[in-house]
Amino acid sequence: MLGFQALGSALDDMLGRDPSVFLLGEDIADPGGGVFKVTAGLSSKHGAHRVRATPISEQAIMGAAVGAAVAGMRPVAEIMLMDFLAVCLDQLSNHAAKLRYMSGGQTSVPLTVRCAAGAGMQFGAQHSEMLEAWLTHIPGLKVVVPSNPADAKGLLTACILDPDPCVIVEQSLLYFAPPQPVPVGHHVVPLGVAATVRSGRDITLISYGRQVHDAVAAAGVLAADGIEAEVLDLRSLVPLDERAVLESVARTRHAVVVHEAVRRNGFGAELAALISESLFDELGAPVARVAGANTPIPYAKPLEDAFLPSHDAIVTAVRATLARSRVRVAG
């Protein structure tokens, strides 16, 4: 199954199970089924009142989703591209994230926000950003970034079931990546549980989303030199599987964080700080970060490629980390 189909099957499953679930977003109804086809067929099957095409009104979409959630519904709001969250960040940050706290726990906002994100399709600076660091900085929100179709289905389902506001960041290149097996029917990947994609003893590559694949590719290159890299797919950033991160790095004593978002104040900085605070004495070398350049995202293909962290950059970062290590590693 392709990534966009996996997400659609999660929505289909949840619409079928729970009458309080409904979807709203621009162009999501049939015959179009959304610009990325994630919701194709759902309004025909579940009704246009539950799969609601909205005007182009991000504030109204997000605000209506917040209000409906406060009233006990489980809305899934689609904000077409993550960059557009800027238009409705008041509703997400000041309301969705804070209403439980400000009400002393009287109300909750069981809202799911879906947004496409990420570079690689030459959409230019306003349609390509990864802005998960904005969101992880806001107490009250949960944030997930799947790396493959099965996780996309399971994490989206977990978000809809969750009592708190969740944002699922769907990298648009993964919508159409080569198909992979996806469990049929109800499938939940719990929030806050990282996956070890590849085991290794020498260094831990910590990543999420599409860059997990770059990390795996880099690990393959390194293995040829006798360097065994462990690859951790975080899957969810809030809640974060701190234990999985720290256990792995405690074993390998080296870590490189890989993400697509710009390096400065990116989520990698949080991970590097977490590891350093917890494992300073065990670390063989400082935690390294491989991330996007500190620029808006360019349009021209060679420039866009240069913006993105490559698996070559990961290989280089691993070698540099091990070269300055206080610990002797093979290779």
Partner 1 sequence: MDDISVPADIGPDTLLEIFTVATRIKVCDEKFRSLVLAGQVSAQYYSPRGQEIVSASVGSLLRPDDYVVTTYRGLHDQIAKGVPLRELWAEFFGKATGLCKGKGGPMHITHPQSGLMVTTGIVGSGLPIGAGLALAAQLRGTDQVTVVNFGDGASNIGAFHEACNLAGVWKLPVVFCCHNNLYAEHTSFEDGTSVGRIADRAAAYGFPGVRVNGNDPVEMLGAAAAAVERARRGEGPTLIEAMTFRFYGHQMSDQNEYMKPGELAAARAADPVVAMRKWLADTAIADEQRLAGIEADIKAEVEDAYRFAEQSPVADLGEALTDVYEEALA
CB count, 10 Å around CB of 101? Answer: 10
Which residue of 16, 17, 44, 94 would you call a contact of partner 1, by CB under 8 A?
94
Question: Please, which residue, 218 or 245, has the CB nearer to partner 1?
Answer: 245
Q: Give the up-direction half-sphere exposure of residue 259: CA atoms within 13 A in the CB hemisphere.
A: 29
Our CB check for partner 1 shows the closer of 10 and 240 to be 240
Site track for partner 1 across 153-182, x = CB under 8 A: ----------xx------------------
Cα angle, residue 318 at apex, residues 317 and 323 outer, rounded to 5°: 100
Question: Do residues 65 and 111 lie in contact, with contact meaning Cβ atoms separated by under 8 Å?
Answer: yes
Q: Is 186 a catalytic residue?
A: no
Residue 225 binds partner 1, judged by CB under 8 A: no
* Contact pick of 17, 45, 243, 264 for partner 1 (by CB under 8 A): 243
Q: Binding mask 3-22 vs partner 1 (x if CB under 8 A, - otherwise)?
A: -------------------x
d(C-alpha 306, C-alpha 293), whole Å:
8
Whether the ω angle into residue 239 lies within 30 degrees of 0, i.e. cis, is yes
Characterise 189 by phi-psi region: left (phi > 0), alpha (psi -120 to 50), beta (else): beta
Contact window for partner 1 (CB under 8 A) among 49-57, 121-129, 153-161, 266-274: 49-57
Looking up tokens 């085991």, which residue turns up?
199
The single residue among 35, 37, 64, 217 that binds partner 1, judged by CB under 8 A, is: 64
Q: Which residue has the tokens 């990325």?
A: 36
| Cβ nearer to partner 1, comparing 108 with 310 | 108
Question: Using omega within 30 degrees of 0 as the cis cutoff, is the peptide bond preceding 31 cis?
Answer: yes
Q: How far is the CB of 202 from partner 1 (least distance, A)?
A: 28
In angstroms, the Cα distances linking 47 to 16, 51, 72 are: 11, 6, 20
- Which of residues 94 and 199 has its CB atom nearest to partner 1 in the complex? 94
Stretch that binds partner 1, among 139-147, 210-218, 254-262, 284-292 (CB under 8 A): 139-147
Q: Which of 9, 39, 91, 321 binds partner 1 (CB under 8 A)?
A: 91
- Which lies closer to partner 1 via its Cβ, residue 70 or residue 133? 70
57 near partner 1 (CB under 8 A): yes
Give me the catalytic one of 95, 127, 187, 254.
127
Q: How many CB atoms lie within 10 A of CB 103?
A: 11
Strands laid side by side in the 51-54 sheet: 51-54, 21-26, 74-81, 112-117, 166-171, 142-144, 236-238
Which residue stretch of 98-106, 116-124, 199-207, 274-282 sits at the interface with partner 1 (rule: CB under 8 A)? Answer: 98-106
The pair of three-digit structure tokens given for residue 249, joined into one six-digit string: 């790095």
Q: Which of 44, 59, 199, 265 binds partner 1 (CB under 8 A)?
A: 59
Which backbone phi and psi does 233 adopt, to 5 degrees?
Answer: -100, 110
Which residues form the catalytic set?
127
Which residues of the shown chain bind partner 1 in the complex (CB under 8 A)?
22, 49-50, 52, 54-55, 57-60, 62-73, 75, 90-91, 94-95, 99-108, 139-140, 142, 163-164, 192, 238-239, 242-243
